[in-house]
Amino acid sequence: MKENKKYFEVGADGGSLTIYQMIDDENKNWYFHEVSDMGLEDEVNGVKYQSNYSLSFAEDFVKLLDKYPHLFNLYPLYADKDCVNVVLLFLKDYLKKNMPDYFNKHGWSEVLNVSVEEFDSK
């Protein structure tokens, strides 16, 4: 088994949601997401959760969105160039359905490598 490659990541205070690609010994791609929550010093230690494997990035992204439907309100940290179209498709759909009071257009445009105006074309 080869090393996991980060494909997508968003962050929040003390935690992150990350999707990784894993290539098995037969050179087959698998995707999984990891939820990390550092916790506060006075509370329980941090939580780390890893999902089951998915056959595609899109499949795993849908699983992550099912658990965290407002993940686009979190701080965007990374998106691999191979997953940008999938993320952008779901992001535009999210913005059509519920435009949040605050949306980090500049952060998402930088991470997805698209213009800020891309989010205005609903």
pLDDT digit string, tens, across residues 64-109: 999 999 899 999 999 999 999 999 999 999 888 877 677 898 999 9
Global pTM reads: 0.86
Q: What is the pLDDT of residues 39-63, one digit of tens each?
A: 544 455 566 777 888 999 999 999 9
For residue 105, the enclosing domain spans 5-119
**How distant, in Å, are the alpha carbons of 16, 45, 82, 93, 116 from that of 20?**
13, 23, 12, 23, 26
Cβ-proximal residues to 120 (8 Å cutoff; 6+ apart), any chain: none
The number of domains in the chain is 1
